[in-house]
Amino acid sequence: MDDSIATLIDTLDSHDNQARCQALFDLQARTELPVDWAYTFWDQLAAKLDSKNAFDRAIGMFLLCNLAQSDPEKRLDRVLPALLAMTEDQKFIPRRQTIHTIWKVAYFRPDLREAVTHKLIERFAACVNEEHPNLIRRDIVQSLLTLAELTHDETLTAQVDQLIRSEPDEKERKKLLETHPAQ
Q: What is the pLDDT of residue 70?
A: 98
Number of domains in the chain: 1
Confidence of residue 169 (pLDDT cuts 50, 70, 90): confident
Cβ(60)–Cβ(48) below 8 Å: yes
Q: What is the pLDDT of residue 2?
A: 76
Q: Give the C-alpha distances (Å, rounded to integers) separating 172 from 126, 143, 146.
A: 16, 17, 20
Q: What is the pLDDT of residue 181?
A: 61
Confidence of residue 87 (pLDDT cuts 50, 70, 90): very high
Share of the chain above pLDDT 90, in %: 86
Print the domain residue range for 171: 3-179
* Contacts of range 12-18, beta carbons closer than 8 Å, 24 or more positions apart: 12/48, 12/59, 17/55
Q: What is the pLDDT of residue 178?
A: 83
What is the SS3 assignment for the chain?
CCHHHHHHHHHCCCCCHHHHHHHHHHHHHHCCCCCCCHHHHHHHHHHHCCCCCHHHHHHHHHHHHHHHHHCCCCCHHHHHHHHHHHHHCCCHHHHHHHHHHCHHHHHHCHHHHHHHHHHHHHHHHHHHHCCCHHHHHHHHHHHHHHHHHHHCCHHHHHHHHHHHHHCCCHHHHHHHHHHCCCC
Tell me: the pLDDT tens digits for 105-145? 999 999 999 999 999 999 999 998 899 999 999 999 999 99
CA 43 vs. chain centroid, Å, equals 18
CA 169 vs. chain centroid, Å, equals 27
The answer on pLDDT for 182 being more than 60 is no
Tell me: the pLDDT tens digits for 33-59? 999 999 999 999 999 999 999 999 999
Mean pLDDT for the chain overall: 94
- The CA distance from 92 to 22, in Å, is 22
* CATH number of the domain that residue 97 is part of: 1.25.10.10
Average pLDDT over residues 70-92: 97
